[in-house]
């Protein structure tokens, strides 16, 4: 059932008027680096005056948010599960009566009649810094590759980005054809041994045309380009073309509670399955080469393993390999058998594998269709709420906004098919927004809504955003419209997506606007769910004006794919259900994994519950304030942090050790729900960790001196080698 809404204008104000699988970016940026040696051929590198740029915003199509149908009928019918101790709803309680009770006891009072808001406010040269003294750094390609692949950027990657972007722009302006530019990228990639010849050729063909198309149409310096793509790892260069703000309605924010109530014990709940980052590889081959020096291995095309240890395992591999079909099948069968009382499923994207150099639209669509069919067969009658990952497109990360509507580069080939596939679980009212931007809103139960966002419009590896990053597809303004409607209706909202908004892959300006939205509607949004990182973690949100007030929590679910050094995993959430005092908060969650090493060793996988959040971390509830308390404990309690680190890696035997810098990064990731703003959120945390690290060193040093002094007060015992315990022995180890 759909309903037309009153007119809500949705203007955008402009101040000027995403781990893994990113080899394409490495190749494009680094393939042109050797050209920087020819300084004489690059006069633009030493130009210090940037001419005036006449910039025209791309023509935007008209899309009226309030004219789109909305989901206003509950989509989920409660099921009585015999293994639960409570009933979902009393037999004499209808949805309408339940909703009426919620309205009558709601905490966030708003006026019964409101008017919705009406806002009445309404060259050729390139500047490039000298970097001759940094030339050697440009040759550190392994460092650059590692940083880009793990989304941990430094000045090394920034310098490489500036050099690559500057050279590519110079070649474009010199009149090189697209074919010549693509051939140049391929040749340098191959000659520098950045990747194999087939990977170089595939990446250049897939990404070269798109990148060249965008760079021909933007007037941004290399500094501006790289600050946009890399973020705070490449300085915070002000760029007026990519500064914008969403508009909020003139509706007062409901009074802030001192803290949220703890969900009632033994009250009705929903059991929710969260699956993310399956990365199913239909070409996985047991016994193939798992150490192939390409972005994805464990295929027949990866070659034969050099040693028995280099052979791909039966159930997957810790190296750069994705999920074999038998592992996906076994996991879904295990879930269907073990968790028979699942109420609904959150499915947060990334279905295709990491072979980003040779993917096609047809192959990615086939994987989407196959996995949707499998989910329907394994969980008949269970509602599934999907979100779009960054790997679903071909090429990866390519999600043109709606105004890019040319047939050959439009994203409609993907969104139209998603609408067809997702309609198996979603109401017809979502068609308009799914086909426009792959986002939607569904009323799940009376007073409870799920909003799925397309986080690829915050993906800074999405080159199309360089043309115009201003609220792509009008998604965030639509998001505000949905949240304001939910607030008026006293609905609580869960948000799902793929890329976490605080992750370094999320565009800074988009993340900043999203953060403001969550703060404004903190009484409405009670939980967020994402994937993308492949790790088991979380992100915090705070009042932008009061960092002592946590107002939101984002759960980042583990990946099914072991890519890489990980065990496969999934999550189970228990969400406050249908009752008069419901909070719609997550009551608790469990992480389940399969030990990949043992599965390959013994030939059979065993899925088991790794931990339960409240029990593992001794939390009385999972409110934002409780997660904030845990974050403080992780900073101060090393033993607790090591437990978190174990779960973060899904208990993988391949996990590396974590030093003080690693600890700072992980805790800061948890604290930063706003991307590329670590200085704002993490200074205090990093200072504490540095202080504790210093204390540990000093304690060890002074303890050693004290013990030595105490030993000296006693009579030295004779030694078997003839030396006293404090004699100095000089040993000649030279030749």
Q: Give the residue numbers of the binding site.
A: 277, 279, 350, 390, 498, 532, 534
The dihedrals phi and psi of 278, each to the nearest 5 degrees, come to: -65, -45
27 neighbors 200 (Cβ within 8 angstroms): yes
Distance CA 362, CA 76 (A): 33
Beta bridge partners of 492: 448
The angle formed by the CA atoms of residues 630, 632 and 636, to the nearest 5 degrees, is 115
Question: Token digits for 495?
Answer: 């948000």
Q: Following CA atoms 719, 725, 727, 733 in sequence, which dihedral angle do they give, to the nearest 10 degrees?
A: 80
Distance CA 626, CA 614 (A): 10
715: left (phi over 0), alpha (psi -120 to 50) or beta: beta
Question: Token digits for 354?
Answer: 């990491």
Distance CA 491, CA 289 (A): 52
Q: Which residues contact 192 (CB under 8 A, 6 or more apart)?
A: 30, 31, 33, 34, 141
566 neighbors 276 (Cβ within 8 angstroms): no
Distance CA 583, CA 22 (A): 39
541 neighbors 624 (Cβ within 8 angstroms): yes
Q: Which residues contact 287 (CB under 8 A, 6 or more apart)?
A: 305, 311, 312
Question: Token digits for 174?
Answer: 């010199």
Distance CA 87, CA 82 (A): 9
Query: In 194-278, at which residue ranges do the beta strands (DSSP E only) sit?
Result: 244-246, 269-275
Burial 215-252 (b: 16+ CB within 10 A, else e): beebbbbbbbbbbbbbbebbeeeebebbbbbbbbbebe
What are the Cα distances from residue 156, in Å, to 27, 237, 379?
Answer: 15, 17, 47
What 216-222 contacts at long range (C-beta under 8 Å, 24+ apart), as own/partner pairs, is 216/172, 217/467, 218/466, 218/467, 219/53, 219/55, 219/123, 220/466, 221/50, 221/126, 221/127, 221/128, 222/126, 222/128, 222/161, 222/162, 222/163, 222/165, 222/166, 222/169
608 neighbors 651 (Cβ within 8 angstroms): no
Burial 159-171 (b: 16+ CB within 10 A, else e): bbbbbbbbbbbbb
Measured from the Cβ of residue 254, the count of other Cβ atoms closer than 10 Å reads 17
Of 138, 113, 110, 125, the residue nearest 51 (C-alpha): 125
138 neighbors 160 (Cβ within 8 angstroms): yes
Q: Helix, strand or coil for residue 501?
A: coil
| Sign of the alpha-carbon dihedral angle for 387, 390, 393, 398 | positive
482 neighbors 525 (Cβ within 8 angstroms): no
Question: Token digits for 89?
Answer: 């709803």
What 299-305 contacts at long range (C-beta under 8 Å, 24+ apart), as own/partner pairs, is 299/355
Annotated binding site for Zn(2+): 277, 279, 350, 390, 498, 532, 534
323 neighbors 279 (Cβ within 8 angstroms): yes
Of 662, 585, 660, the residue nearest 627 (C-alpha): 585
Q: Which residues contact 114 (CB under 8 A, 6 or more apart)?
A: 251, 488
- Continuous H helices in 408-474: 412-422, 431-437
């Amino acid at each position: 059932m759909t309903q037309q809404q009153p007119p809500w204008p949705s203007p955008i104000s402009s101040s000027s008027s995403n781990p893994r699988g990113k080899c394409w970016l490495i190749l494009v940026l680094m393939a042109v680096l050797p050209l920087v040696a020819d300084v004489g051929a690059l006069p633009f590198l030493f130009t210090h005056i940037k001419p005036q740029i006449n910039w025209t915003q791309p023509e935007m199509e008209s899309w009226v948010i309030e004219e789109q149908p909305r989901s206003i009928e509950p989509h989920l019918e409660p099921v009585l599960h015999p293994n639960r101790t409570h009933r979902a709803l009393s037999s004499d309680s209808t949805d309408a009566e339940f909703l009426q009770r919620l309205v009558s006891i709601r905490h966030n009072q708003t006026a019964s009649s409101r008017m919705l808001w009406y806002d009445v406010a309404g060259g050729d040269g390139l500047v490039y810094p000298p970097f001759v003294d940094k030339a050697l750094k440009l040759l550190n390609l392994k460092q650059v590759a590692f940083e880009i692949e793990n989304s941990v950027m430094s000045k090394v990657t920034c310098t490489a980005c500036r050099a690559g972007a500057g050279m590519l722009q110079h070649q474009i302006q010199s009149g090189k054809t697209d074919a010549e530019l693509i051939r140049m990228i391929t040749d340098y990639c191959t000659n520098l041994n950045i990747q194999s010849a087939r990977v170089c050729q595939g990446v250049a063909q897939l990404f070269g045309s798109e990148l060249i198309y965008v760079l021909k149409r933007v007037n941004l310096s290399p500094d501006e380009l790289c600050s946009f793509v890399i973020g705070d790892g490449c300085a915070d260069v002000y760029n007026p073309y990519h500064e914008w703000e969403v508009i909020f309605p003139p509706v007062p924010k409901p009074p802030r509670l001192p803290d949220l109530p703890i969900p009632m014990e033994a009250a009705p709940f929903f059991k929710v399955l969260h699956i993310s980052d399956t990365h199913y590889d239909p070409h996985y081959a047991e016994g193939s080469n798992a150490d192939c020096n390409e972005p994805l291995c464990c295929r027949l095309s990866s070659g034969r393993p050099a040693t028995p240890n280099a052979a791909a395992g039966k159930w997957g591999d810790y190296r750069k390999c994705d999920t074999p079909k038998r592992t996906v099948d076994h996991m879904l069968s295990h879930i269907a058998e073990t968790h028979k009382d699942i109420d609904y499923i959150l499915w947060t994207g990334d279905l295709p594998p990491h072979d980003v150099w040779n993917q096609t639209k047809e192959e990615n669509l086939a994987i989407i269709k196959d996995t949707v069919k499998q989910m329907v067969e394994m969980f008949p009658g269970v509602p599934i709420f999907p979100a779009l990952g960054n790997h679903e497109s071909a090429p990866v990360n390519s999600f043109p906004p709606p105004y890019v509507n040319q047939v050959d580069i439009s994203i409609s080939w993907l969104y139209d098919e998603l609408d067809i596939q997702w309609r198996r679980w979603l109401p017809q009212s979502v068609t308009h927004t799914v086909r426009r931007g792959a986002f939607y809103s569904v009323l799940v139960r009376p007073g409870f809504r799920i909003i799925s966002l397309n986080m690829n419009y915050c993906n800074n590896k999405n080159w199309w955003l360089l043309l115009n990053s201003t609220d792509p597809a009008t998604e965030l303004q639509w998001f505000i419209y949905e949240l304001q409607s939910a607030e008026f209706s006293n609905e609580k909202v869960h948000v799902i997506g793929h890329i976490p908004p605080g992750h370094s892959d999320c565009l800074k300006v988009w993340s900043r606007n999203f953060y403001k939205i969550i703060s404004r509607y903190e009484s409405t949004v009670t939980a967020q769910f994402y994937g993308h990182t492949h790790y088991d973690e979380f992100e915090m949100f705070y009042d932008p004006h009061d960092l002592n007030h946590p107002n939101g929590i984002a759960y980042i679910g583990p990946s099914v794919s072991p890519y890489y050094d990980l065990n496969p995993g999934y999550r189970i959430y228990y969400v406050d259900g249908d009752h008069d005092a419901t909070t719609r908060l997550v009551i608790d969650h469990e992480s389940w994994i399969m030990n990949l090493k043992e599965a390959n060793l013994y030939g059979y996988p065993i899925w088991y519950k790794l931990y339960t959040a409240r029990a593992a971390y001794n939390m009385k509830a999972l409110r934002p304030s409780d997660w904030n308390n845990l974050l403080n404990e992780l900073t101060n309690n090393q033993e607790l942090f090591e437990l978190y680190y174990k779960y973060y890696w899904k208990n993988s035997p391949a996990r590396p050790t974590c030093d003080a810098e690693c600890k700072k990064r992980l805790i800061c990731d948890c604290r930063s729900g706003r991307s590329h703003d670590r200085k704002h959120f993490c200074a205090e945390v990093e200072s504490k960790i540095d202080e504790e690290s210093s204390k540990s060193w000093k304690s060890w040093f002074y303890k050693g001196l004290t013990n030595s002094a105490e030993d000296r007060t006693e009579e030295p015992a004779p030694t078997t080698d003839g030396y006293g315990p404090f004699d100095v022995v000089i040993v000649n180890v030279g030749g």
